[in-house]
Amino acid sequence: MTEKGCCFEKFCYSCDRPGWEGSSDGLCKVHDPNNPLGPDEMIEEVQEKVDEGDQEFIGWRFPEETHFKDIEFEDADFRDTVWEGMAIFEDTTFNGTTKFNRARFEGITDFNSDFNGTTEFNSTTFKKAATFDGELGGQLFFYRTTFEDAALFENCIFNCDTLSFRETSFKKYTSFREATFLGNKAEFIDIDFNDLELNFKKTIFKNNETVFNWKKNPKKGIYFQFSVTKNLEFRDINLSDKIYLHNAKDFEKAYIKNSKWETDKKGPIIQEEKDNKLKKAEDSYRQIKKSLNSEGLYNEAGEFYYKEMLMKKKQYLKQKNPKAILYYTYEYLAGYGEKITRVILTWIANITIFALIYLTTIQLNIKTLSTTKQELIPLLKETIYFSAVTFSTLGYGDINPIGIGRYIASIEALTGGALMALFVLVLGRKFLR
């Protein structure tokens, strides 16, 4: 019986791999939506094709986390691929013509790679956070690309003949912070920011020409802090007070073409940006937290939630907002719901402090000890015992508070109830994950 081949066909490409018996559609393993191959097996399949000089991966499905390391691609074709887990390209080089057109990245994506030649991400969708880090050269196209989560191009070196973000949709926080634009032309044309915040802080434009043109101003603003050495052009846009230019060096080299400054002042309005480092850090930690939660990495997400709350607390402190007191209290009592050991240590401290108060004020009627001879050690044990049962609101009745001790015990019972409720809250938060 002759083995049937894979039925996958796309454009002028048809797969020559044998069909997989487990596929209901007559597809091979790498093209079937239920691809049974694990991450290591998929990387071996890719490496084998690279070694053979055949780098057509059209329509391949990568079912789990994929981690490429130290691979050099030449004319690689990843069109219509589906990456269902994290996609990590570590120290990877793309030479020649590389195509990721219509690819769909479902998980977090990290390109710590060098791009040479022509690279296309046209109509590609990034569902989770996408990070690009490295030297991006040649010609790089993001036509109708959609970033549904954070898009981070921080510290990138764009040494491109052509860098094109045209009709690109950025739906979450987007940052080109400390990026350097070299080479010939960079264009941001008909960009849709979806009311997010765009960050061009400490960006250096040394390329021959950079053009910005967006559909509408983001509600949360665009932050520029740049150094311009060549032509920087804002074309056919309204530059409102949502555009923050902070220490923008050589701004006279930026051309305002057919654009309007929405201000009563003549000429461009240069605004000194407020110190938003803490807010940016908070936003960054929140984005990472959301991405980790979506990947099921809840413990790691909790650590970034803790850092997010720390940044918020520091902002309230700087603003002298009374909410800072609440954030301080919640931090030290429970680590913002992430440090259950802090709640337990607070229990111990609370019981010990009240025991010492009872010991020094002698406001207890202890039936097991003689009123004429109350030694320190037995008395200390009894006060700790009484403090513990009062804290837990058990109250056996074998020891009774007297005088002012009744009010002290009432206060301890209230704090004990509150701290026990806090413990249940933190514990529940852990288990509900």
Whether residue 331 contacts residue 311, with contact meaning beta carbons closer than 8 Å, is answered with no
Task: Check whether 224 has a pLDDT greater than 80.
Answer: no
Distance between CA atoms of 387 and 360, rounded to whole angstroms?
13
What confidence tens digit (pLDDT) does each residue in 104-123 have? Answer: 999 999 999 999 999 999 99
51 versus 429: the higher-pLDDT residue is: 51
Percent of the chain with pLDDT over 90: 20
- Residue 232 binned pLDDT confidence (cut-offs 50, 70, 90): low
What confidence tens digit (pLDDT) does each residue in 347-388 have? Answer: 888 888 888 887 776 655 555 554 444 566 777 787 888 888
Bridge partners of 249, per DSSP, are 227
Residue 368 contacts by C-beta under 8 Å, 6 or more apart in sequence?
Answer: 382, 398
Q: Secondary structure of the chain: what % helix, strand, coil (to 5)?
A: 30, 30, 35
Buried b (16+ CB within 10 A) or exposed e, 27-46: bbbbbbeebebeeeebbebb
Query: What is residue 97's predicted lDDT score, i.e. its pLDDT?
Result: 94
Distance between CA atoms of 381 and 400, rounded to whole angstroms?
15
- Residue 133 binned pLDDT confidence (cut-offs 50, 70, 90): confident
First to last CA, the chain: 51
Whether residue 165 contacts residue 188, with contact meaning beta carbons closer than 8 Å, is answered with yes
Q: Parallel, antiparallel, or unpaired for β 238-239 and 198-205? A: unpaired
In whole angstroms, how far apart are CA 86 and each of 39, 108, 150, 186, 396? 11, 5, 14, 29, 57
Query: What is residue 241's predicted lDDT score, i.e. its pLDDT?
Result: 40
What confidence tens digit (pLDDT) does each residue in 53-66 have? Answer: 888 999 999 988 89
What confidence tens digit (pLDDT) does each residue in 197-207 have? Answer: 677 777 887 87
DSSP designation for 71: -
pTM (whole model) above 0.85:
no
Of 206, 240, 205, 207, residue with least CA distance to 222? 240
- Residue 46 binned pLDDT confidence (cut-offs 50, 70, 90): very high
Query: What is residue 146's predicted lDDT score, i.e. its pLDDT?
Result: 94
Residue 82 contacts by C-beta under 8 Å, 6 or more apart in sequence?
Answer: 60, 61, 62, 103, 104, 106
Mean pLDDT of the chain: 78
Give me Rg for the CA atoms of the chain.
Answer: 31
In whole angstroms, how far apart are CA 132 and each of 16, 74, 151, 271, 376? 33, 19, 8, 30, 67
Whether residue 400 contacts residue 364, with contact meaning beta carbons closer than 8 Å, is answered with yes
Alpha carbon dihedral 65, 71, 74, 75, in 10-degree steps, equals: 10
DSSP designation for 59: T
